[in-house]
Structure 1
Amino acid sequence: MNLFSDIRALVTDALAQMEQAGELPVGLDTAAVTVEPPRDAAHGDMATNAAMVLAKPAGKKPRDIADALAARLAADPRITSAEVAGPGFLNLRLAPGEWQGVIRAALREGADYGRSTLGQGHKVNVEFVSANPTGPMHVGHTRGAIFGDALASLLAFAGHDVTREYYINDGGAQVDVLARSAYERYREANGLEPEIAEGLYPGDYLIPVGEALKAKYGASLLDRPESEWLVEIREFATEAMMAMIRDDLALLGVEMNVYSSEKALYGTGRIEAAIERLKSAGLIYRGTLEPPKGKLPEDWEAREQTLFRSTAFGDDVDRPIQKSDGSWTYFAPDIAYHWDKIDRGFDALIDVFGADHGGYVKRMNAAVAALSNGRVSLDIKLIQLVKLFKNGEPFKMSKRAGTFVTLRDVVEQAGADVTRFHMLTRKNDAALDFDFARVLEQSKDNPVWYVQYASARVNSVVKKAAEMGVDTSDAALAEADLVRLNHSAELELARKVAEWPRIVEIAARANEPHRIAFFLYDIASDLHSLWNRGNDELSLRFVQDGDADTTAAKIALVRAVGVVISAGLGILGVTPAKEMR
């Protein structure tokens, strides 16, 4: 059930009737008509912009449309009043039975309440993390992993067919550096002093890799030249790093559906096939680029290169795909990889990257548009940095990693649930502060604790009602006499429950899972507020001693809130608290 969608359908039906009656021109586009909560709750339960967005195409004054629309809507039993405000906004008040119906729907639908058919089964590929397989995941990867996983869950909840994918960047020079670093740890395992030269990876995490190499090869590689061991150790070390990365992701409850390898694109003809597709469309040519901004002419050596005409799709400059020596630029395998995803039949692609990939957005959007003839959309989400603190002081780097704080460091100190929720309390393109003391404190200022406290309160009050003999099963509560929920504060909480399906669709359309975290905080705040009012107004207490029927109605409301919180936390990948400790 989506009450906002139902009332919007009522509005559009009324507009259609106005067209038939000659009050509006036939064929008006109502796509921009919305029904949403008013900015000021005192103005009503819902508001529609119908008159405002249709006035110009209809050639009428907004107020005239609003007055006629209000008259039709007021005739519906679900609407108790329809009032025109300002230049033509229409504020609606709904009958209490509509909010009570929302409570029943939440209890009957349970975990499916708020699920949407918005996605219509469209196939969406969410590629996230995709960290270089050269070491453990750091805190930046942590935020990207959580964001990508929550976004995938959100889209699935909204009706999309979602694939979680990790692109292994194992085709570049960094894996050669990994191999050389692992070789030094292999020498160390054989009793020699490792030579961790500048540019190699210094972290202790490679010590077990060196020991494993010794177990496999003994001392046989010590006197062999690099050309004889580089490829073999590179593969061995890469597999070891990917095993570590999978373990790190498991700490957060993240499980990928697909792991794709960059290296697998080379020597298979896939890169060539993708470039040929662009070439056949007239988008590949030999040319010379202008010098980058800020470069003096004497600093710039112009040379002819093979270029992709990305400016035809909104990019600032055309992009090189092949170097003068005939080797591919890093952009070429990325084009091939996205062509592979398009070829697998995805309707939409989402890439989750670090903030340092900002310059990558336009060129990759251009490539996907060109490769798919505009059929497949690409949304690149950039994840801003995380600043770590402990009691207000910057958190020190990890010795194990060598140069950074690892995902494991964060999860071991804060816990997976706290880490996941807090990483989603800011929009992805906003920087985030993560203070280990603050995220664990028990206060209203800590969103994760406040929401989990609401979840625990729901369980506590339901348990108390059961102890007094009330049947607290959702099926029984859905049949309670909900007319007893007539206080404005109770109806306000019911309105919040009604917003949940709408929030899911808004967040899914924008690819913004942080909206779920924000909403959970809001509904938790409303529940706590009603609880606190019960301390002064006995009639608002959830458990009414000696009155099982009224208690059942109030517990139905509380359980409906619990259904929403549980569903929302499920999207975020957080386990709802049953009790606070």
Structure 2
Amino acid sequence: MNIFTEFRHRVIEAVASLGIKGANGGELNLEKLGIEPPRDASHGDIATNAALVLAKQAGMAPRELGEKLAAKLSEDPDVMEAGIAGPGFVNLKLSDGFWRKQLATILEKETDFGRCDLGGGLKVNVEYVSANPTGPMHVGHCRGAVVGDALANLLAFAGYDVTKEYYINDAGVQIDVLGRSVMLRYREALGEEIGEIPEGLYPGDYLVPLGKSLAEEYGRKLLDMPEDEALAIVKDRAIDAMMAMIRDDLDALNVHHDVFFSERDLHADGEKRIRTAINELTMNGHVYKGTLPPPKGQLPDDWEDREQTLFRSTAVGDDVDRPLVKSDGSYTYFAADVAYFLDKYRRGFKEMIYVLGADHGGYVKRMEALARAVAGDDAKLTVLLCQLVKLYRNGEPVRMSKRAGQFVTLREVVDEVGRDSVRFMMLYRKNMEPLDFDFAKVTEQSKDNPVFYVQYASARCHSVFRQAAEQFGGEVVVDPDDLELLTDESEMALIRKLAEYPRVIEAAAQAHEPHRVAFYLYDLASAFHGQWNKGTDNEALRFVKVNNPQLTRARLGLVQGVLNVLRSGLAIVGADSPAEMR
């Protein structure tokens, strides 16, 4: 239960019970009525701006309305104190009994605490990674993979019907380059001296095994075939091999897609699907024949000084109309994007989320314009851009990979520091902020390493249960009635932190910001470690009290509540909740 949503309903009921009406006896506009934690925790647990936003409508002074509202809310059995602050904010301090009921709910819901129906089953497609199948994924792909996967997990937890999708860019110039690069390694495997890899081809050693396997299967037959026929075979084998490598790398990162969509399918049957998509846009008045003025600055690759087939994207929010057909009659990359978006829309998705690298910034407006042209208000498109990741080791930049030839691979990073460290740290900055990833810092065991600090909290929770079992000769079962013994203010503060979780989930899902979950987990871990340390300093606050089994059970309920939320949040992040640290 989101307690802030719950108290918004209670405030609205209190306003209604006061008989307050708008101008001429009309209904009040409650749209801007907000409920949130006070900026100063000493002011209470919940603050509402109700008096401020409703006073003018009600023809009353804000503080006058606030006093009436505070008096009414003070009658609520869960409200211990209601007061006025500033120009008319109403602050509520909730009873300890209320917080203990929240803990009981957390224990009942287990890892489903915080799960909600915010999305109402809305079909959402989250497309992420979508790396060209031309080699191993690099660390730049890693951030988008984690952000996309965690976002998909978050949206599913918030009640959306989510499909995780990977768009395989297996058509176009880069695949021709891949085929020629593999042919070179094939010739090398046959014993030819190939020398330096020519500029423009992929130089990485990862293509060597593929060249050897082709040599073993075909001998010199590929060299005796017409070049186009041989390249077609090599390209098919290369794409399959690269996608197997990519899937394996993603699996190591705990990233799993529901759908792998091949761009080649759009170009099949004489590019029928692309032609159909463009025809549909044409019928709806979004395509015309015309010329484009030369853009300012450096000319883009798709600009041509001639009459051409153009998408009228400026009519739907873009800066410039977009070419759909090249001078040689082939379709532009954007034409394939049109067909792909239309395919998603026809599959019934009401929101399409694209997680892309920061270098795709120029892609955003044209895609948003395309969504408006195809779907109008019936579907929404969102593009999330992920800034670059810079790798360091003890503060020094990390050199590129020998295997990949030009970059550090995702797999090298995962193999060195572990998937949990990679996933958590890739979420420990907002996606549009640059991220510095230091191998030394993400493996150190300290508070400054967020993933260690959060997982250490999980391990400590388990250690409390092990200690209790040792002291009491077996598993200790928590009875909700025992929670009445939780009376210390620090215990109430920890429960209040736990109760924030549903609000964090809803806000993060609405904003498409999974990093909020990682931030919250760190704050929760800090609160739990703080309570642990208080027990170290003050024996009366220890979780396990050998001479007081009932109090022990109550405090184990608190520990279990922390563990439930840690497990839930770490599952969204895509990391484990360990029982012990190794």
Q: Same fold (TM over 0.5)?
A: yes
Structure 1 Cα separation of the partners of residues 327 and 359 of structure 2: 26
Contact 2:521 2:566 in 1 (8 A): yes
- The answer as to 2:468 corresponding to 1:465 is yes
Structure 1 Cα separation of the partners of residues 297 and 21 of structure 2: 65
Identity of aligned residues (%): 56
Distance 1:150 1:22, change over 3 A: closer
Shift of 1:576: 0.7
Structure 2 Cα separation of the partners of residues 48 and 24 of structure 1: 25
- The worse-fitting range, judged by mean Cα deviation, of 244-253 and 212-221 is 212-221
Contact 1:36 1:47 in 2 (8 A): yes
| TM-score, reference length from structure 1 | 0.96
Shift of 1:2: 2.6
Distance 1:526 1:342, change over 3 A: same
Aligned residue in 1 for 2:359: 356
Aligned residue in 2 for 1:539: 540
Aligned residue in 2 for 1:335: 338
- The worse-fitting range, judged by mean Cα deviation, of 272-281 and 432-441 is 272-281
Structure 1 Cα separation of the partners of residues 534 and 61 of structure 2: 45
Contact 2:167 2:261 in 1 (8 A): yes
Structure 1 Cα separation of the partners of residues 23 and 276 of structure 2: 57
Structure 2 Cα separation of the partners of residues 293 and 28 of structure 1: 52
- The worse-fitting range, judged by mean Cα deviation, of 66-75 and 450-459 is 66-75
Aligned residue in 2 for 1:254: 255
Distance 1:15 1:321, change over 3 A: farther
Name the aligned partner's letter for residue 199 of structure 2.
Answer: E
Aligned residue in 2 for 1:200: 201
Aligned residue in 2 for 1:102: 102
Aligned residue in 2 for 1:114: 114
Structure 1 Cα separation of the partners of residues 487 and 493 of structure 2: 10
Aligned residue in 1 for 2:519: 518
Structure 1 Cα separation of the partners of residues 373 and 581 of structure 2: 53
- The answer as to 2:339 corresponding to 1:313 is no
Structure 1 Cα separation of the partners of residues 57 and 232 of structure 2: 67
Shift of 1:535: 2.2
Aligned residue in 2 for 1:444: 447
Distance 1:457 1:271, change over 3 A: same
Structure 2 Cα separation of the partners of residues 470 and 369 of structure 1: 65
Aligned residue in 2 for 1:553: 554
Structure 2 Cα separation of the partners of residues 165 and 470 of structure 1: 50
Shift of 1:25: 5.2
Distance 1:37 1:471, change over 3 A: farther
Gapped runs of 5+ residues in structure 2? none
Name the aligned partner's letter for residue 318 of structure 2.
Answer: D
Structure 2 Cα separation of the partners of residues 239 and 562 of structure 1: 42
Contact 1:24 1:58 in 2 (8 A): no
Distance 1:314 1:577, change over 3 A: same
Matches within 5 A, 1:453-532: 453-469=456-472, 476-532=477-533
Structure 2 Cα separation of the partners of residues 61 and 333 of structure 1: 59
Distance 1:77 1:422, change over 3 A: same
Structure 1 Cα separation of the partners of residues 57 and 322 of structure 2: 43
Distance 1:172 1:18, change over 3 A: farther
SS in 2 for 1:136: coil
Aligned residue in 2 for 1:12: 12
Matches within 5 A, 1:27-38: 27-38=27-38
Aligned residue in 2 for 1:157: 157
Matches within 5 A, 1:51-66: 51-66=51-66
Gapped runs of 5+ residues in structure 1? none
- The worse-fitting range, judged by mean Cα deviation, of 132-141 and 33-42 is 33-42
Contact 2:168 2:262 in 1 (8 A): yes
Aligned residue in 2 for 1:170: 170
| CA offsets 1:269-322 (integer angstroms, 9 cap, x no match) | 2112211222122111112222212369xxx97322211111222211121112
| TM-score, reference length from structure 2 | 0.96
Name the aligned partner's letter for residue 333 of structure 1.
Answer: A
Shift of 1:23: 9.8
Structure 2 Cα separation of the partners of residues 397 and 373 of structure 1: 45
Contact 2:23 2:57 in 1 (8 A): no
Distance 1:21 1:32, change over 3 A: closer
Distance 1:295 1:508, change over 3 A: closer
Aligned Cα root-mean-square deviation (Å): 1.8
Matches within 5 A, 1:314-463: 314-463=317-466
Shift of 1:91: 0.9
- The worse-fitting range, judged by mean Cα deviation, of 2-11 and 487-496 is 2-11
Structure 2 Cα separation of the partners of residues 480 and 456 of structure 1: 26
